[in-house]
Amino acid sequence: MPGPYDVVIIGGGPGGYNAAIRAGQLGLKTACIEKRAVKGQAAFGGTCLNVGCIPSKALLFASARFEEAQKHFGPLGIKASVELDLPAMMGHKERTVDQLVKGVSFLLKKNKVDPYFGAGRILAPGRVEVTGADGAVEVLETKNIVIATGSEVTPLPGVAIDEEKIVSSTGALSLKAVPRRLVVIGGGVIGLELGSVWRRLGAEVTVVEYLDRLVPGVDSEVAREFQKILARQGIKFRLSTKVTGAASGPDGVTFTMEPASGGAAETMDCDVLLVCIGRRPYIEGLGAREAGVAIDARGRVETDGHGRTSVPGIWVAGDVTTGPMLAHKAEDEAMAVAELIAGKAGHVNYDVIPSVVYTHPEVAAVGRTEDELKAAGIAYKTGKFPFSANARAKTVAEKDGFVKILADAKSDRVLGCHIIGPEAGTLIMEIAVAMEFGASAEDIARTCHAHPTLPEAVRQAALGVDDRIMQM
């Protein structure tokens, strides 16, 4: 029986491998278990690296460059003729993933983490069973267990995913040809990102969303502007609509949908149907329930707010617990858990976790939305500045969108920021750092920003909180 370990981590995604690396840095004897396999080898990195964040961003980048060369070079005085080489684009994606997977394995080895290839299951506090691909079983003894098993695609009743014509996000990342008609079920982050990729490459894209708006959780003003921009790009929308069934045939997919509130059903055809209605925690078969770990009605492992489960010595990080299903949130939780196990002061500030939608333009946010502040009865001030008035945005022909900063009406402390526009995911980090240090809108407004840059739009929005925008 190998061990004893100080820490055994089940799952090698952002929550798992970051917990393992940090534990190793702290001198803890650590093991990390991963069951995902590529070519017979453990593929550390989780959904994010293998079939999520990283491959999707590779395709988002490549497809954006393709469209830019096709449609947007002319006004800049550049004549170009381009054609799509989809296998080569997929090759770029696969090389990127492969390099990063190898990088994670290297970091685990560098920090003296023992890797295990197989499925992990909790037998009891302090004991974890690993079943390898060949069926071989071994039991690890450990002082601490970290559950970092992530999440999986939420299925849609009546729609059977085959990853060929009816696909999840995994299948949508590896289509062998550009579909003529792509229908996306779900108007959330993943659906809009992948819909954008295939729209740029030539597909007719329709998004079917159950709610009456896109990207639930995003500031409603931003969501409305986002839909307008995507519609101008050619994406069609069917809101307040639910899909009730689908079937694959030799010529594509036939599916039925009806109004979310009830009403007459209609049938529609497409070449590829992408199911993107969200993800759910991956907890079944883990042995967590049997070990006494409290799990809520949505299948999420409950914690004390600091990664501890209801069972002493069993911890959790990432998508399998409460909070946004984001790789960087999992990373923060992972580092905090490892530090707490080592007797240090691990901490996660859940009020300052940025989020980004990597469409074009990007959408980014941190902190509270206007909707949340209104619901909570918090008095706030707003500063808003459009990219159409930003000098750098004009020079790079990226004029859609705006920056909106929300600040407490009395203290001026920044409560949230919402950006739709060029490089929004980068720009939001200025606000995240400011919020982490309890900054006011005035603090941002009085910080000198280089000219001409996109961050000047952030400064102008901060000035707008006090009604003194200078550049509009």
Catalytic residues: 451
Which residues fall within 8 angstroms of residue 470, CB to CB, at 6 or more apart?
A: 460, 463
**Cβ 360 vs Cβ 375: under 8 Å:** no
Please list, residue by residue across 135-170, b when 16 or more beta carbons sit within 10 angstroms of its beta carbon and e when fewer do.
eeeeebebbbbbbbbbbebeebeebebeeebbbbbe
Two tokens, residue 40: 């017979």
From the list 324, 315, 369, 319, the residue with the least C-alpha distance to 342 is 315
**403: β partners:** 385, 419
- Which residue is it, tokens 């409560």? 415
Size of the chain in residues: 472
State the DSSP H helix or E strand holding residue 472, giving kind and residue range, or none if neither. Answer: none
What is the dihedral sign for C-alpha 144, 318, 298, 132?
negative
Q: What is the maximal distance between C-alpha atoms in the chain?
A: 69
Task: Find, among 442, 444, 447, the residue nearest to 432 by Cα.
Answer: 444
